Structure 1
Amino acid sequence: METQKKTFFGQPFGLATLFFTEMWERFSYYGMRAILLYYMYDEIANGGLGLSETTALAIMSVYGALVFMSSIVGGWIADRLLGSRQTVLYGGILIMFGHIVLGIPSGILTLFVSMILIIIGTGMLKANVSSMVGNLYAEEDDRRDAGFSIFYMGINIGSLLAPVIIGTVGQKVNYHLGFGLAAVGMLLGLIVYVIQGKSTLKSVGTKPSNPIKKGEGSKIVKSLLGFAVVVAIIFVWAGFAGRLDIDFFINFTSVLGIGLPVYYFWRMLTSPDVSLEERKKVRAYIPLFLGSIIFWSLEEQGASILAVFAQNRTKDVFFGFHVPASWYQVLNPVFIVALTPFFVWLWTKMGKRQPSTVVKFSIGLVTAGLSFVMMMLPGILYGTEGRVSPWWLIISFFIMIIGEMCLSPVGLSVTTKLAPRAFESQTLAIWLLADATSQVINAQIARFYTPATESAYFGVVGLVAVVAGILLLFIRKPIQELMGNVK
């Protein structure tokens, strides 16, 4: 833990460095994401790639899933090789070059090259930044949840600015210029991280928490080679069988998205480096992880299903102003930034009287589900052929974000509390894997969203989250017992 006399909104001052680093990284990522879907299915004459809408939606979901899956690799590199500090730096550099490549107008090839760079870079950066935030606090420090809420606001300030700036430039001027601005955002984040971090982070994250021991290297190399051979065999078989298409990639990613968390939970529960008390906390974490998968499945559809709803079903004039579809991506971060001060005040004011983590998760799931249940109404009331008021999307996003404020920053916080020491950064990566798993689920279920099924789709998906939240509330006591002194 790093302590400083100077504070950042009453928090350790190292939080400021990580706050602004993540803010600019999210500016670059969400700016790119605000226009990427439209870039993929826009006509070639308009500067797009001319892909079908269905294919573009599938690629978005697979891409998002792989971004979060790669956090496992980034967490392993930090825990076993470099430490969080260096891993974050190298990840940011890869992200910046990924956006630079995407800014080059060279068609589908540069799209996939940039995706590879951004996937690897984000995996190295994102989980490790969050892990470093946790290292700023002692385990018993009541400021932790509030600190993560402030950190979460930084993420969403970047997410707020991105669609307005990059979305407008990308849709109104040139897609590739928009992607170039995303690269500039990541460069600013790296500058803050390197220069300010020297004085504010000091020894935080400089060493791996579970460095590779003598004799382990050969086993690790054999495991990696074995995995690579299995993947190669699967892809070669798919190629010879004529099945190497977008559906194959969706299904392959889906298997990874489900298999990786199962594997990592098994590893933590059986590792000799994890104590008996830590194993209890890992078991407590599993139902929270499953709940977060359901939550993120709904939240991530803001950039896919709800983005299509914004483009095809929402009026593009609001209070006399023309509103590009990409601007609706602003709603999520706007509401988070607006609500964060309230939730920081609420959790700080309540102190030890605040609801338990499990109850907060339950509230988050139920609220997120209701935001989708509400989206049944436009189709039921007005049909699915015409356009409806922007208020439907605005209110839906607002309800969703109330749930997100109860679940996401709290989930980050509790992950750092429950993480076994030997899997410190990798556990943060597992938290991000929940998002990856949710997106491979979305890649599978997005095909069921059509004008004819619009209301049923929103209703079914929303009710699943509501029921899951209620079930989590009923089993809160045994979960809390396993968590021990973690509240």
Structure 2
Amino acid sequence: MSAQISQKHPTGLYVLFFAEMWERFSYYGMRAILLLFLLDSVRGGMAMNAAEAAAIYGLYTASVYLLTLPGGWLADNILGQKKAIWYGGIVIMLGHIILAVPGGSGLFFLGLTTVAVGTGLLKPNISSIVGELYPEGGARRDAAFSIFYMGINLGSFLGIAIVGYLGERISWHMGFGAAAVGMLLGLVVFRYGSARHLKGMGDVPPARIATAESDAKNGTNKKLGYAFIGALVVLLIVLQSSGVLDMTTAQGLAKGAGVIIVIISASYFLFILFAGGLTRVEQYRVVVLIILFLAIALFWAGYEQAGTSLQIFAERHTQRVIGGWEVPSSWFQNFQPTFVLLFAPVLASLWIYLSSKNLNPSIPVKFAAGLILLGLSFFVMVAASKIAVTGQLASPLFLTFTYFLHTIGELCVSPVGLSSYTKLAPKRYVSQLMGIWFVGASLGNLIAGIFAGGFDEENIMQMPGLFNQVAIITTVFGLILLVFWKPIKGWMGGIS
């Protein structure tokens, strides 16, 4: 079945597949060793405590996705999607080169910031072009995003294996340098492949194909934007000066970033709904996008524990010695991309088959299934952590099964969600709303970092309770989506 599906897809999909694969090699490879580097006090790392390191990790991964919002705006209004991808890839590569140079905390944070800026420019726009390849939408587009998602996870697998090994076993900075090489290969693939197979796609910013009404609103929109930024700055000053937030620490800064993300997301959705010139059908579709945004933020808050609390659990509380050789703890993160590579073709074929029988589950049902599976995975971790609190090392099978449930849930949510945003978003806002999709991931990553910062190194007795919180919250939200799937589907205006 998967071979038959692949024959129906345009060559441009595979250009984007390999370009994204190498970009994800660089991102996930570096991410696999980032928390370990921040915690390390022996081999030239940053020697931070768990709370501070997890907060910085969360800030970085959140910033990567938060910056997709201005990245989408630049593509929609100035650069076009192809140029945004090209320039973003160059900036990412430069950031990894900076990280590869040992030079103290200042240079390190400059490198992190550079990678985040470049990823924000590249990430939403490459997904938008995938959507452009399938103007008819439907299950075929969902299958294409599942194939594209395999590229993401192949890159993740290779990056974690290679960069993780080089960083943990040889040199942190050699690992960062390998990530730069991966991004260079992605640039080469995109430069030459897009010229032949993506002609006429992503060249002209969509906002330049504007209506007279939208042109008339441009001046007002800019004034509203400036006023919003000013109000946001004032709010943060008030929160800091009143003692509600302390943004002089990494943990406080992470919480402040969470406030910013929530306010920006809510304000943007409200602006699109009431001042975006939408029809009533488009407004209902944006309401669906808001629901999916909340669901994906919650999903990633649990899923991204792979690089935070689950990474700490793998490092400190999991049996990792096989035949006298200790498995690098970062390699446990490779269960996720491995399972995606194994099961993405299965689910892509399943959606096509079910669609042919008029049995394809609706988008809210798939999201509900993903959240419930994520919740079940953390009930597994509750059992594992109860072993750890006795002072014993837990079997690696606990993390293996947890990541398996994560992956099946991810395949119900992430490629389907990417496809849904390209289908439901009004055409003139498509890249910006793809940016908002990734802002949901940003919020989830930030919550993941803050949550892991709550792991008290001196008090492992709290682990079962913390994992239990994640399990209950995600399962309940999934069940709520399952109950209300019919009205949500009705708001989608015939899009499936």
| TM-score range relative to shorter protein | over 0.9
Task: Evaluate the alpha carbon distance shift between residue 291 and residue 272 of structure 1 in structure 2; reply closer, same or farther with a 3 A threshold.
Answer: closer
Distance (whole Å) between structure 2 residues aligned to residue 236 and residue 180 of structure 1: 41
Code of the aligned partner of 2:288: A
Aligned-partner Cα distance in 2 for 1:141–1:465: 28
2:55 to 55, 58, 70: 58
Distance 1:249 1:405, change over 3 A: same
2:483 maps to a residue whose letter is F
Structure 1 range deviating more: 110-119 or 242-251 = 242-251
Partner AA of 2:292 in structure 1: L
* 1:377 matched to 2:345: no
d(CA) in 2 for partners of 1:166, 1:237: 40
Tell whether the 8 Å contact from 1:364 to 1:407 is kept in structure 2 after alignment.
yes
Instruction: Tell me the residue number matched to 1:328.
Output: 332
| d(CA) in 2 for partners of 1:321, 1:347 | 42
Change (3 A) 1:464 1:197: same
Distance 1:218 1:184, change over 3 A: farther
For 2:492 and 2:217, how far apart are their aligned partners in 1? 34
Quick check: 1:235–1:244 contact (8 Å CA) kept in 2? no
**Partners of 1:257 and 1:373 in 2: how far apart?**
29
Q: Is residue 68 of structure 2 the alignment partner of residue 71 of structure 1?
A: yes
Deviation at 1:218, TM superposition (A): 9.3
Residue identity matched to 1:362: A
Deviation of the 1:387 alpha carbon: 1.2
Shift in CA distance, 446/141, structure 1 to aligned 2, threshold 3 Å: closer
For residues 243 and 85 of structure 1, do their structure 2 counterparts lie closer, same or farther at Cα, with a shift above 3 Å needed?
Answer: closer
**Cα shift readout 1:459-487 (whole Å, capped 9, x = no counterpart):** 12111111111100111111011102111
> Which residue identity is paired with 2:110?
V
Question: Is 1:143 aligned to residue 143 of structure 2?
Answer: no
Structure 1 residues 228 and 24: CA distance shift in structure 2, 3 A: farther
Long gaps (5+) in structure 2: none
Aligned to 1:82: 79
Q: 1:313 corresponds to which residue?
A: 317
Residues 398, 319 of structure 1: CA spacing in aligned structure 2 closer, same or farther, 3 A cutoff?
A: farther
Q: CA deviation at 1:9?
A: 4.1
Change (3 A) 1:453 1:333: same
Name the % identity.
38
How far is the alpha carbon of 1:353 from its aligned partner?
Answer: 2.1
Change in Cα spacing, 1:129 to 1:466, as seen in structure 2 (3 Å) is same
Letter in 2 for 1:123: G
User: Where does residue 190 of structure 2 map in the other structure?
Assistant: 193
Which position in structure 2 is the counterpart of 1:285? Answer: 289
SS in 1 for 2:200: coil
1:389 is aligned, of 387, 391, 395, to 395
Q: 1:38, CA displacement in angstroms?
A: 0.9
Partner of 2:117: 120
Distance verdict in 2 for CA 1:47–1:485, change over 3 Å? same
State yes or no: 1:100 paired with 2:97: yes
- Cα deviations by residue, 1:300-323 (Å, 9 ceiling, x for unpaired): 111100000000001121466421
List, as ranges, runs of 4+ consecutive aligned residues in structure 1 with deviation greater than 4 Å. Answer: 212-215, 232-243
Q: Determine whether 1:259 maps to 2:266.
A: no
Please, what TM-score do these two structures have when normalized by structure 1? Answer: 0.93
Change beyond 3 A, Cα 1:12–1:319: farther
Equivalent positions of 1:202-241 (< 5 A) are 202-211=199-208, 213=215, 216=218, 220=222, 223-224=225-226, 227=229, 231=233, 234=236
1: CA distance, partners of 2:114 / 2:121: 11
- Note if contact 1:65-1:257 (Cα within 8 Å) is conserved in structure 2: no
Question: Matches of 1:122 and 1:382 in 2, distance apart?
Answer: 37
Q: Which residue of 438, 441, 449 maps to 1:435?
A: 441
Tell me the SS of whatever aligns to 2:319: coil
Q: What is the CA distance between 1:157 and its match in structure 2? A: 0.1
Do the aligned partners of 1:273 and 1:422 also contact (CA within 8 Å) in 2? no
Q: For the residues of structure 1 that align with 2:367 and 2:147, how far apart are their CA atoms?
A: 18
Please say if 1:410 is aligned against 2:416: yes
Aligned-pair CA distance for 1:358:
1.0
- Alpha-carbon shift at residue 12 of structure 1 (Å): 1.6
Contact 1:8 1:15 in 2 (8 A): no
Q: Cα–Cα, structure 1 residues 104 and 371, in superposed 2: closer, same or farther, change >3 Å?
A: same
In structure 2, the CA distance between the partners of 1:225 and 1:108, relative to structure 1 (3 Å rule), is farther
Taking a change above 3 Å as real, the CA distance of residues 429 and 382 of structure 1, as seen in their structure-2 partners, is: closer
Residues 69 and 436, structure 2, Cα contact 8 Å, conserved in 1:
yes
- Distance in 1 between the 2:264 and 2:484 partners? 25
Question: SS in structure 1 opposite 2:46?
Answer: coil
CA contact under 8 A between 1:8 and 1:16: conserved in structure 2? no
The 1:239–1:111 alpha-carbon spacing in structure 2 relative to 1, beyond 3 Å, is farther
Instruction: Indicate the SS of the match to 1:355.
Output: coil
1:354 aligned counterpart, secondary structure: coil
* Code of the aligned partner of 1:152: Y
Match of 2:151 in 1: 154
Shift in alpha-carbon separation, 1:237–1:350, aligned structure 2, 3 A: closer
Deviations 1:398-450 (A, max 9, x none): 01111111111001111111101121101111111111111232343334334
Give the counterpart letter for 1:259 in structure 2: I
Partner Cα separation in structure 2 for residue 285 and residue 70 of structure 1: 19
Find the aligned partners of 1:318 and 1:458 in 2 and give their Cα distance.
Answer: 27
Aligned twin of 2:274: 270
Counterparts of 1:180 and 1:119, CA distance in 2: 16
The alignment covers a number of residue pairs equal to 481
After the TM superposition, which of the residue ranges 402-411 and 448-457 deviates more from structure 2? 448-457
Alpha-carbon contact 1:371-1:399 (below 8 Å) kept: yes
Query: Which secondary structure state, in structure 1, belongs to the residue aligned with residue 178 of structure 2?
Result: helix
Residue type of the alignment partner of 2:464:
S
Distance 2:360 2:389 in 1: 43
SS in 1 for 2:67: helix
- Structure 1 unaligned regions, length at least 5: 1-6
SS in 2 for 1:353: coil
Give the equivalent residue in structure 2 for 1:469.
478
- Closer/same/farther in 2, CA of residues 466 and 18 from structure 1, 3 Å limit: same
Q: Say whether the 8 Å CA contact 2:51–2:454 is kept in structure 1.
A: no
